């Protein structure tokens, strides 16, 4: 996850990877049409570990409103986070790529937070003049297909 620009001596694919506030489908917040960060104050959050860039973005987002997120539990394992959120223990703040399938399968819900939430970008890059094996070329083709979904 970096900013949107790929260095000039590289080429590759850039994909948006927005961050979502997520909850279990039956959570009270899912009934809301719009939510602000202020309304998430005091809601238990299952968070990434403190060193994770997503955690820093969460803390910064709350700080812009003079708030502190109520982190109930933290882990580096997104599967554990998703399981806890699905169990209704709290909400979380994760990148779309990590929760896409669970949202599609309605195991998790994206909360309609209206405040400006940061977007990070995924880059799959290689040296501009670097030889690529057939397997690497196929990987890039697959990544292009996924990007268009």
Quick: pLDDT tens for 36-69: 999 999 999 999 999 999 999 999 999 999 999 9
Residue 88: DSSP 8-state? T
Taking the alpha carbons at both ends of the chain, their separation in whole angstroms is 19
DSSP H or E segment with residue 19:
strand 10-23
Tokens of 47: 């968070």
* Chain mean position to CA 147: 16
Tokens of 46: 């299952």
Q: How many residues are present in the chain?
A: 149
Contact in structure between 15 and 114 (CB atoms under 8 Å): no
Tokens of 115: 């405040």
* Average pLDDT of the chain to the nearest whole number: 90
Percent of the chain's residues with pLDDT above 90 = 65
| Confidence (pLDDT) at 57 | 93
């Amino acid at each position: 996850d970096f900013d949107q620009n790929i260095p000039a001596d590289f080429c590759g694919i850039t994909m948006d990877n927005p961050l979502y506030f997520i909850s279990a489908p039956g959570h009270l917040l899912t009934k809301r049409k719009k939510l602000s960060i202020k309304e998430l104050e005091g809601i238990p959050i299952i968070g990434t570990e403190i060193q994770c860039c997503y955690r820093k973005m969460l803390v910064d987002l709350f700080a812009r409103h003079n708030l502190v997120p109520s982190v109930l539990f933290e882990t580096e394992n997104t599967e554990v986070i998703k399981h806890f959120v699905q169990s209704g223990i709290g909400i979380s703040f994760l990148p779309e790529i990590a929760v896409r399938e669970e949202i599609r399968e309605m195991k998790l819900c994206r909360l309609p937070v209206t405040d400006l939430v940061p977007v990070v970008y995924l880059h799959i890059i290689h040296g501009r003049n670097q030889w690529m094996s057939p397997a690497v070329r196929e990987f890039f083709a697959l990544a292009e297909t996924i990007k268009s979904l």
